[in-house]
Amino acid sequence: MTLSACPIDALLVGAVALLPDGRSPSGIRKSASAGALWLSPTGLQGDAQADLRVHGGPEKAVHHYPREHYAHWALRSGRADLLANAGAFGENISTRGWDESNVCIGDVVRLDEALVQVSQGRQPCWKLDALFGEPGTAREMQESGRTGWYYRVLKPGWVRSGARMTLAERPHPQWPLSRLIALLFSRDARFAPEWALAAELPALAERWRRTFAKRVASSSVEDWEPRLRTPPPDA
């Protein structure tokens, strides 16, 4: 598996704002930045998240989403307006050439002046449905495995659109994100030995490691429906 250097097509940040439902705050709306942005251990300058319990933080400082996935969404979604530009899925970085099949957990990446490490995939939530106005968007992201991934920041620095991203280190070449994502979203108990292996991956975000370990201990899979299901209006 190879990973060629690729340029950043778009560098995106956004403030917290209400979703189209008029009641749910979210930082999912991102706009492209033309200038350099400082990347700290908790994210890019000018970027924000509404619910810090589940979004943002050191293990999810930067979200990377492949631009190639937009072709899939264009076939499924009626929101050509959202899909016309990068940022429709709340990503901070958009590129072409890297995806879940050729990026591995723990990959250390030179991101312009910064150094980052792939920490986990994305677990999509109902706010995608609210943004697109199309129920099932988050579920489709989960089931298709087109989730993108997050980085933790190993070395802060300035990041610019157009800068090249390069692989600096690959400690777990046998663990492409596609493998981990498929394991996380599988309910098949026959994968228990694989869950046990994933729980021991040192580069994997602690929350994912705990999830895999709990599955092995309980021989059951957690309920992820509350994450995918839009809350009722009076919630």
Q: 97: domain range?
A: 6-176
**Gap between the Cα atoms of 209 and 184, Å rounded:** 10
Q: Is 198 inside any structural domain?
A: no
10 Å CB burial of residue 71 (0-12, 13-18, 19+) is exposed
> How many structural domains does the chain have?
1
Q: Would the pLDDT of 169 be above 80? A: yes
**Among candidate residues 149, 134, 143, the one with its CA nearest the CA of residue 92:** 149
Q: Is 190 inside any structural domain?
A: no
Q: What is the pLDDT of residue 196?
A: 97
**Gap between the Cα atoms of 107 and 154, Å rounded:** 11
Q: Would the pLDDT of 234 be above 70? A: no
Mean pLDDT of 38-58: 90
Q: Would the pLDDT of 233 be above 60? A: yes
User: CATH number of the domain that 121 lies in?
Assistant: 2.40.33.20
Contacts of 15 by beta carbon, 8 Å cutoff, 6+ apart:
27, 46, 48
Q: Would the pLDDT of 2 be above 80? A: no
Q: Would the pLDDT of 163 be above 70? A: yes
Q: Is 57 inside any structural domain?
A: yes
- For 116-137, the pLDDT digits (tens) are 999 999 999 999 999 999 999 9
Q: Is 222 inside any structural domain?
A: no
Query: What does residue 100 show for φ and ψ, rounded to 5 degrees?
Result: -65, -20
Q: What is the pLDDT of residue 138?
A: 97
- For 89-107, the pLDDT digits (tens) are 999 999 999 999 999 999 9
**Gap between the Cα atoms of 102 and 16, Å rounded:** 32
Q: Is 97 inside any structural domain?
A: yes
Mean pLDDT of 26-39: 95
Contacts of 181 by beta carbon, 8 Å cutoff, 6+ apart:
100, 121, 145, 147
Q: Is 212 inside any structural domain?
A: no
Report if pTM > 0.75.
yes
Q: What is the pLDDT of residue 191?
A: 94
**Gap between the Cα atoms of 36 and 83, Å rounded:** 24
Q: Is 111 inside any structural domain?
A: yes
Q: Is 219 inside any structural domain?
A: no
Q: What is the pLDDT of residue 60?
A: 96
- For 50-81, the pLDDT digits (tens) are 877 877 899 999 999 999 999 999 999 999 99
Contacts of 23 by beta carbon, 8 Å cutoff, 6+ apart:
233
Q: What is the pLDDT of residue 232?
A: 65
